[in-house]
Structure 1
Amino acid sequence: MEVAMTPRSGPQRALHKLGLVRPIDLALHLPLRYEDETCLYTLRTVREGQTAQIEGQIRATEVRAGRQLLVTLDDGTGTCLLRFFSFTPGMQRALAVGQKIRVRGEVKGGFAGWTMLHPAFQPAGGTLPATLTPVYPSTAGLPQAYLRKAIDGGLQAAVLDEFVPPQCWEEAGIDPAWTLRAALALLHHPPPGPPPQRTHPPQRTHPAWRRLQAEELLAQQIAQQRSRAERERQRAPTLAGGTLQERLLAALPFGLTAAQRRVCAEIADDLRRRAPMHRLLQGDVGSGKTIVAAMAACIAIDAGWQCALMAPTEILATQHIAKLVAWLQPLGVQVAWLMGGQGKRQRHAALDAIASGQAQLAVGTHAMVQDTVRFARLGLAIIDEQHRFGVEQRWKLRNKTATVGDGGDSTSPLQPPLQPHLLMMTATPIPRTLAMSYWADLDVSTIDELPPGRTPVVTRLVHAARRGQVIERVRIAVESGRQAYWVCPLIEESEALDLSNATQTHAELCAAMPGVRVGLLHSRMSPAEKRMVMQEFVAGTMGLLVSTTVIEVGVDVPNASLMIVENAQRFGLSQLHQLRGRVGRGQAASACVLLYAAEEGGKLGEGARDRLQAMAQCQDGFAIAQRDLEIRGPGEFLGLRQSGAMLLRFADLRDNADVLDWARHTARHLLTHNPEAAQAHEQRWLGNKTQFLGA
C-alpha cells in the first residue's frame, strides 16, 4: 500500500494541486517534451534557431537602464550575448566577469553576433547526462528542478510489481519484457536520438507507450465493470407506476413516438428492479427527452417517492419547470424549484416542502446539491445535460436522501439506505467507441426518432464579408412575423480575438432594425434579467434575440425559425449542432446561417473548415457526433474537464480500439479469476477516484 504525501511546503501543495499525491501518481506523470543536455556545442558550429548547450567564460556584464542584464560569453570559438530582462542580485553574482558557466538556449543571429534570450545556466563542468532531460506539466510555484527530483523519487518508491500475468500482455500484442518499470524508465529518461531529432520522444506506437495505454484501459474497464457489479448488489426502491402515466398521456396535446415509447419501457423495467437504475438517455436536439423524464417521474411519484431533476443552467431549469408544471400540476403533483436567484422566503418554502416530502418533484440547478437540501424519500434522480456537471455533483445528488428501507419509516441500523435510481440525459449523441469505454457501466437508451412536425433546418455557410446582406434578410424575416436568434461568442472586447461581441452586435442590430424589438442575453446578466428577456422572446413580443451561447441547450420557442451564428469557426461542432437545434421546432421553414471569417494568414483553419462543412452536409446528430470525435478526440468531445473525471491520459480510443476490446475481456477475466490482482491494478491507476463511479 502506497502512502500519500502530506503537503507542507509551497511546492508540495503545488504537487497536490496537480493530483500528485502518491509515489505512483508521480511515476505516471509523464513529460510534455524533452531537452537535450547530453552534449556540448561550440559557437563556431551552431546554426540560427538551434537550441544548443555551450560552455564558456564570462568576459563582460552590463545592466542597461536598470531593466536588462547583458552578459558576454566567450567559448574560445566565438562570443554570444546573453540577454536577461528579469534578473535578481543572486543571478548577477553568479554571472560575474570571469565565471565559467554552461548555458542552454535558442541561438539567434544578428548584426552584433549570436545572442540567447533568458538561457538556462549553471556552473561549467560536471558530467553530462546520458539521457534526455524531461520537461513536465507543472503549475505555479513548482519549479522543474523540484518536480524532476520528486518524480525520480516517486519512480524509486512506487510499487511497480507486475499484477497481471505475462500471457495477458501477450494477448494484447505487447512483449512482456516491457514491464511497467521498464516502460516508465524509458519514457521519463529516453536516450538521445540521432541529430537533428535528438529531442524527439518515443512515438505513441512504441512498446513502452503501448504498455501504458493497455494498463490504463484495463484499469478503466476493471473499475467500470466492478462498479456495475457493486451497483447490482445495492438496493433501490422498487417503483411500479399506477395511473399517473396514463392520465398524463391522456392530457397531452401530442402522442409519443415509437422511440419515446421504447425508452419509456426500458426505464420502467429498470425502476421495477431492486438494483438502482444507472441509465443514460441520449437523443438528438428536439427528440423529446423532457416528456420521457416526466413519464419516469410519474412512476416514482405514483409509487410514493420523490423525484429530483437537475439542469445545468437557470434558463433550462426554468423551461423544465414551465413544462412539468403545465403537465403535472393539473394532475395533483406538487412541484418545487431551487435556483440561485431565488428569494429567501421562496427558497425556505421549497426546502421545507422537499424535506417533508410534500413536494413530489423538485427541479433546479446546481443549488440542488447544496448541504441545506434534503429529501424525505428520493426515489429517482434525473440529470439533464449530464456532461455539464462534475461527477462529484452527480454523486452528491444521489446521496440526498435519508430514507432507509422500503417503507421509508424504518430506522433499523441493519438496513442500508436505499439508493435512488439515476437517469442521465444528454443531447450530445455518444459514438459507440465512447459508450464502450466511458459508459461501460451504464445502460444506454437512445431516442433515434424526431417527433412529427419538426421541420428540416437548411444550413448555409456565409462569409463575414456578406454580413450586411444577412442583417437585411433578418430584418425582412422579423418584420414579417418570424423570430430569430443572433449568437455571438464573446461579451466584451478581447485583444486576443478580434470578434464582434454581443453588446456591440446588439447596438448595431438595434440601429439597423429601428422597428424591431431586439433583446440581449448573456451570462453576466442576473437570473431575473435573463428570465425577463426569455419571457419576452417566448411571448413573441421580441423579434430578435442577440445572445451568447447560454441559449445552446433547452430553449424551445416554436416561432423562432432563423439562427445566425457569428464567427461560427470559433465554435465546436456539437455546440453548432445544439445551436441549430433551437430552430425548426415549429411549422415554418427554418434556416441556420453560419457566418465565418478567415483566421491567421487570411485562411480558414483545417479544423474549422471541417466543422463547418460537416454542419452544412449533415443533420443527423449521431453522424455529427462521430465526426466531432474524429476532429477533437474523446477528452474534448466529452467535456471531461470535471472534478473526479477519469480522463484517459495515455490511451486514445481512436487508435487503441483493439486494446479496448482486449481490456474489456481481460478485466472480466481478472475480476472472476484473480480479483486481488484486479483490485491492485485498479487502485494503482485510479486511487480514490473510484468513489465517483456510481455518479
Structure 2
Amino acid sequence: MPEARPTASANANKPKSAPRKAMDKLGLLRDIDLALHLPLRYEDETQTTRIAAAREGETVQCEGEVIESRIELRGRRQLLVKIEDESGELLLRFLNFYPSQQKQMAQGQRLRVRGELRGGFFGREMVHPVIKAVDEHTPLAQSLTPVYPASAGLPQSYLRKAIEASLKRAPLEELLPPRTVPSHLPSLRDALNFLHHPPPRVPLATLEDHTHPAWQRLKFEELLAQQLSQLKSQRERAHLKAPALRGRREGLQEQLLRHLPFQLTAAQQRVAEEIAQDLARPQPMHRLLQGDVGSGKTVVAALAAAVCMDAGWQCALMAPTEILAEQHFRKLIAWLEPLGVQVAWLTGSVKGKTRQKMLDAVASGEANLVVGTHAVIEDKVQFAKLGLAVIDEQHRFGVAQRLALRKKLAAQADAAGPPQGVEHPLGGPAPKATGGPTGLEPHLLMMSATPIPRTLAMTYFADLDVSTIDELPPGRSPIVTKVFGDAKRDEVIAKIRDAVEQGRQVYWVCPLIEESEALDLKNATDTHAELGAALPGHAVGLLHGRMPPAEKAAVMAQFSGNQMKVLVATTVIEVGVDVPNASLMVVEHAERFGLSQLHQLRGRVGRGAVASVCVLLYTGPLSDTGKSRLKAMAETNDGFEIARRDLDIRGPGEFMGARQSGAELLRFADLQEDAPLLKEARAMAPRLLNEHPEAARRQVERWLGGKAEFLKA
C-alpha cells in the first residue's frame, strides 16, 4: 500500500514543492479529486515500430541502440543522438538539454523513443522525443499512457504517480443503491480504472468523444450529484423564513402604477404578479427575472420594491457598474420620490460626509430603498430591516460574489430581526411580520438581459424560479444589424456624418483589451480624435473605464441631453444607458466581443421611434467562432435565440460565468449531448434523497465538495 498523503493540517507548516503547489491550484486536494482528474488524451506506448517501417508525420515509438552522440554548434547549440535498430537509423535532435540527458544517451545505451517522425536534411529525425533508457528485457506498457490536464511546474510523470497512488487509496465504493444506476453502465471503480488505464485495442474515438460506457457512468454520477445538490438546496430554502411582504390596499404599488408615464405590457403585469405572490409568502423568494434588452425589467423591480416598502421593510438594488446603478437611481428617483420614498445612493465614489449620511440613513431605516454597486454589501453597510434584495445583471457578478451577497444579506437580516412595532416609513404602523422574531432572510430577485436557455435553467437553476418578460414595450423601433470589414471604415464614418446632420446621435464602441488598459485607452482616444476630425462642428465625447466617476457622469449627462452627437466609449456603456435619440451604433473590432455582449451593446439603440442600425466592424481573418457570432447577430434580434446560439458556441461552463468563479460546475457532462442522462438523474434524485439520504449526502460530497455552495448562487 502506498504511503498516505499527509493531511492538510500536517502540511500546514511545511513548504510545498512546485508540483504540490501546482496541484493545489488545480484543486487536486483529495485522493478522490486526483482519481477524478481524467486524461485529456492518450499515447500508445504498448508497441514499438521498426525505424524503417515508421512513416513521416506519424507519432511512433521506436527502440534502438545509440551509435553516435555529439553536441553541434552550427546555428545554435544542440545535442544530436543517432540510434539504430536492425532496419535502419534515426536522428534525435535536442535544442534544449542538460548534461545529465547527454549521459543518459551515451553511445552504446539502448533507448525507447516516442515522437513525431520528420524528414530532415540528414535523414529522418525526431525533435525532442520522449526518451526512456531500457534494455532488451524492459517490458512495454500494458495500457495506453494517459496525458492529463496540467499546468506549469507539474510534470506528467509526477501527476501520473500521484493519480496512480490516489486511485488505490480513494474511497470508490459504490454509494448508490442497486437499480439506481442504468444497468448498461460499469461500476465507478471499474470506470475510473478503465479511463486511467485503457487497454491498447480500445477504439480511441469512444474515449475522445466521451461516448464509452465508462465515460457515461462518470457523467451520470456527476449529473446526479448536481441534481441532488439543487434539490437539497430547494428543500432547505422551503424551511427558511422571510418576512411576508404584502402591500396595503391602494398603497405604494397602485400609486406607482398611476404615476408611471406609460402602460405596462401584459408580460410585465404577469411577472409583477408572480413576484408579488412570492413576496407575500413567509419563505424567501429566489427568483430570476429575465427579459431581452429593453423589455422593461427596471419597472418590474420598482413594483417589487414598492410592495416591500409598503410592508414596512427596506429594499436594496445592486448593479455591477456605476453607470448602470446610476441609470436605475435616476429612474427610481423620478418614479418613487414623488410618492414619499427616500432613495439612498451607495457606490465606491460616494465618500466622506455624504457617504456617512447615506450609511446612517440605511442603518436607521430612514432610507427605504438603497441603490448602488457592490458597495451595498460592504461590512460598514448595515440595514435596519432589509426585506428584498434585487441584483441586476446577476451573471456579471460571478458565482462566488453572488453567493457572498446572499450570505451577507441573510446575516444582516438575521441580526436586525423584523421591525415589530416600528412606525411605517411611509406613514402609519408597520404590518407585523409573519416570519418569526429571528432568522429571517430577505427575498432575492435577480435580473438578467442574458436569457437562460431551458436546459441550463433546468440544470443550474433547479432551486430558482424563473419569470420571463417575453415581449417588448410598444414603440420600440426595429434594429437592423450590418456586418462590414474594416476596409469600409470610411463609408461607415460617412454614414455617421449623415446621421448627426439629421439630428441623430451615435455610439462608437471600442473593445476592452483586458491585457492592457493602456492599449485599450489608446484605441479609444485614437478613434475619438479620428471622429472629431471627420465631424467638424459636432461634439464628439469620450468615455472609458479609467475616467473619474464625476467625469463619466458629466459626459453621459451631455450625451443624454443631446449636447453631444457622438460618444466614443469602451464597454462601460454595455448596459443601462438609455438615450432614445441614439439610432446608430458602430462596434469596432466586433470579432473580439462575446455574443451576449454584442447583443447587450446593440440594445443601446432602437429605444426611440426611429429605425436604428447597428454596424459591426471586424478585422480579418475571422475564426470560425468569430464568424458564428457575427452571423448570429446579423440574422436575429431575439435575445433567446442569441442565448441559444451562444450556448452552442461557448458551452455551458463559459456561458454561466463559471470561469470567473474559479469553479467549473460540470466537468464531464454536456447538457445538450447528455440530455438522456440528465433526464435519468433528475428522475432519480428525489428518490435517492427521500429513501437514502446518507448515500445522497456522500454522493454530493464526493463529486462537488465545496462547490455545492456555488449552485446556490
Question: TM-score with structure 2 length normalisation?
Answer: 0.89
Alignment partner of 2:675 out of 624, 633, 657: 657
Q: Which residue of 2 aligns with 1:135?
A: 147
Q: For residue 595 of structure 1, what is the aligned residue in structure 2?
A: 617
Q: Which amino acid aligns with 1:210?
A: Q
Alpha carbons of structure 1 residues 427 and 3: separation in structure 2 relative to 1, 3 Å: farther
Shift in alpha-carbon separation, 1:313–1:64, aligned structure 2, 3 A: farther
1:430-481 deviations in whole A, cap 9, x for unaligned? 2211111111111100111111221111222333332211110111101221
Rate the CA distance shift 1:506–1:127 in 2: closer, same or farther, 3 A. farther
**2:93 counterpart residue number:** 83
Q: Give yes or no for the alignment of 1:544 onto 2:544.
A: no
Any conservation in 1 of the 2:265–2:471 contact (CA below 8 Å)? yes
Q: Say if 1:547 and 1:42 are closer, same or farther in 2 by CA, change over 3 A.
A: farther
- Answer with 656-665 or 485-494: which moved more: 485-494
Which of 173, 176, 197 aligns to 1:164? It is 176
Does 2:624 correspond to 1:632? no
- 2:92–2:127 contact (8 Å) kept in structure 1: yes
CA contact (8 A) 2:385 2:418 kept: no
CA distance 1:392–1:633, change in 2 (3 Å): closer
Partner of 1:647: 665
Distance 1:68 1:371 in 2: 60
User: Partner residue of 1:211?
Assistant: 217
Distance 1:347 1:543 in 2: 34
Secondary structure at 2:572's aligned position in 1? Answer: helix
State the alpha-carbon separation in 1 of the partners of residues 128 and 550 from structure 2.
52
Distance 1:614 1:532 in 2: 35
Single out whichever of 614-623 and 444-453 deviates more from structure 2: 614-623
The amino acid across from 2:175 in the alignment is F
Calculate the TM-score normalised by the size of structure 1: 0.91
The yes-or-no answer on 1:227 pairing with 2:233 is yes
Partner Cα distance (2:21, 2:360) in 1? 41
Looking at structure 1, the residues matched to 229 and 76 of structure 2 have their Cα atoms a distance apart, in angstroms, of 55
Query: Which amino acid in the other structure matches residue 38 of structure 1?
Result: T
Note the C-alpha offset of 1:73: 2.4
Distance 2:271 2:298 in 1: 12
Pairing partner for 2:628 from 610, 614, 621 = 610
C-alpha distance 86-405 of structure 1, shift in aligned 2 (>3 A): same
Q: Is the 8 A contact 2:79 2:97 kept in 1?
A: no
2:386 is matched with 378
- Secondary structure at 1:57's aligned position in 2? strand
Identify if the C-alpha distance between structure 1 residues 504 and 117 changes in structure 2 by more than 3 Å, giving closer, same or farther: farther
**Structure 2 residue 391 is matched with structure 1 residue 369:** no
Unaligned 5+ runs, structure 1: none
Higher mean C-alpha displacement, 368-377 vs 588-597? 368-377
1:460 partner SS: strand
Q: Does 1:403 align with 2:425?
A: no
- Rounded Cα–Cα distance in structure 2 between residues aligned with 1:199 and 1:58: 39
Measured against aligned partners, the alpha-carbon deviations of 1:52-93 in whole angstroms (never above 9, x if no partner) come to: 233331622216389633222222344444333433444444
- The CA distance in 2 between the partners of 1:246 and 1:236, in whole Å, is 24
Q: 2:699 matched to which residue of 1?
A: 681
Counterpart of 2:535, as a letter, is M
**8 A contact 1:565–1:593 mirrored in 2:** yes
Q: Who is 1:583 aligned against?
A: 605
Maintained 8 Å contact 1:510/1:518: yes
SS at match of 1:649: coil
Q: Is the 8 A contact 1:34 1:200 kept in 2?
A: no
CA distance in 2, matches of 1:360, 1:501: 43
Task: Give 1:670's match in structure 2, choosing from 684, 688, 694.
Answer: 688
| Conserved 8 A contact 1:30-1:136 | yes
Native 8 Å contact 2:384 2:416 kept in 1: no
AA paired with 1:201? L
TM-superposed CA distance for 1:542, in Å, is 1.8
Amino acid at match of 2:114: R
2:130 matches 1:124: no
1:309 alignment partner in structure 2: 317
Query: 1:272 aligns to what?
Result: 280
Q: Evaluate the alpha carbon distance shift between residue 241 and residue 338 of structure 1 in structure 2; reply closer, same or farther with a 3 A threshold.
A: same
- 1:511 alignment partner in structure 2: 533
Partner-residue secondary structure (3-state), 1:169? coil
Q: Distance in 2 between matches of 1:385 and 1:538?
A: 22
Q: Which digits, 9 at most, give the CA deviation of each residue in 1:263-284, with x for residues without a partner?
A: 1111111111111100000000
Matched position secondary structure for 1:374: coil
Identify the residue that residue 470 of structure 1 maps to in structure 2. Answer: 492
Judge conservation of contact 1:39–1:53 (CA < 8 Å) in 2: yes
* Match in the other structure for 1:320: 328
For residues 151-175 of structure 1, the C-alpha deviation after alignment (integer angstroms, 9 at most, x for no partner) is 22222222112222342323xxx51
* In structure 2, distance between residues paired with 1:390 and 1:624: 21
Residues 277 and 646 from structure 1, CA distance in 2 versus in 1: closer, same or farther, beyond 3 angstroms? farther
**Hey, what does 2:346 align to over in structure 1?**
338
Question: Cα distance, 1:580 vs. partner?
Answer: 1.3
Q: Which of 156-165 and 429-438 deviates more? A: 156-165
Structure 1 residue 392, shift from structure 2 partner? 2.4
Counterpart residue number, 1:288: 296
Moved more, 422-431 or 590-599: 590-599
Residue equivalent to 1:392: 400
Q: Contact conserved, 1:190 with 1:202, CA < 8 A, in 2?
A: no
The answer to whether the Cα contact below 8 Å between 1:369 and 1:393 also exists between their aligned partners in 2 is no
Q: Does 1:480 align with 2:507?
A: no
Moved more, 301-310 or 642-651: 642-651
- CA RMSD in angstroms comes to 2.8
Partner of 1:437: 459
**What displacement does 1:396 show?**
2.2
Does the aligned pair in 2 maintain the 1:485–1:545 contact within 8 Å?
yes
Structure 1 residues 368 and 26: alpha-carbon distance in aligned structure 2, compared to 1, 3 A threshold: farther
Residue 111 of structure 2 is matched in structure 1 by 101
Amino acid at match of 2:131: F
Q: Deviations over 1:134-164 (max 9, x none)?
A: 1111223222222112222222222112222
Deviation at 1:361, TM superposition (A): 1.9
Once the 2 structures are TM-superposed, how far is the Cα of residue 235 of structure 1 from its aligned partner? 0.6
Secondary structure in structure 2 of the residue aligned to 1:458:
strand
- Larger displacement relative to structure 2 (631-640 or 677-686): 631-640
Whole-angstrom CA distance in 2 between matches of 1:159 and 1:626: 39
**What is the alpha-carbon distance in structure 2 between the residues aligned to residue 206 and residue 198 of structure 1?**
10
- For residues 361 and 478 of structure 1, the distance between their equivalents in structure 2, rounded to whole angstroms, comes to 39
Q: Of 201, 210, 229, which residue of structure 1 is paired with 2:207?
A: 201
Unaligned stretches of 5+ residues in structure 2: 423-435
Aligned partners of 2:536 and 2:184: how far apart in 1? 73
Contact 2:398 2:660 in 1 (8 A): yes
Report the secondary structure of 1:336's partner residue: strand
Between 343-352 and 381-390, report the one with greater CA deviation. 343-352
Q: 2:55 is matched with which residue: 24, 47, 64?
A: 47
3-state DSSP of counterpart to 1:419? coil
Amino acid at match of 2:602: R
